[in-house]
Amino acid sequence: MSISRGYVSQDYVIQQVIANFVCRVLWSEGRPCLEYTSLEQLEEINHYVRSEFDWELYDVFFTALEVLQEEE
């Protein structure tokens, strides 16, 4: 059952995403940006945010980007 958007803050949604997924939130000019590990994970996070909170992913995060792999 999803929580209505009017009942939760953006910060709460961000906290829940961080608690439930291996990802990071980066901040750009005071706006949250999601750093995810794969496209599959991004789809899972998107589904989670929609189903649990009735928010669109890009209403929570300014943008999303895949983690950069370290060069050897």
Tens of pLDDT, residue by residue over 29-56, are 999 999 999 999 999 999 999 999 999 9
Residue 47 domain boundaries: 5-66
User: How far apart (Å, rounded) are the C-alpha atoms in residues 30 and 7?
Assistant: 23
Q: How many separate domains does the chain show?
A: 1
Residue 72 lies in a domain: no
Residue 71 lies in a domain: no
All residues at 6 or more sequence positions from 67 whose CB lies less than 8 Å from its CB, including other chains? 24, 35, 36, 37
User: How far apart (Å, rounded) are the C-alpha atoms in residues 34 and 17?
Assistant: 10
Task: Quote the pTM value.
Answer: 0.86
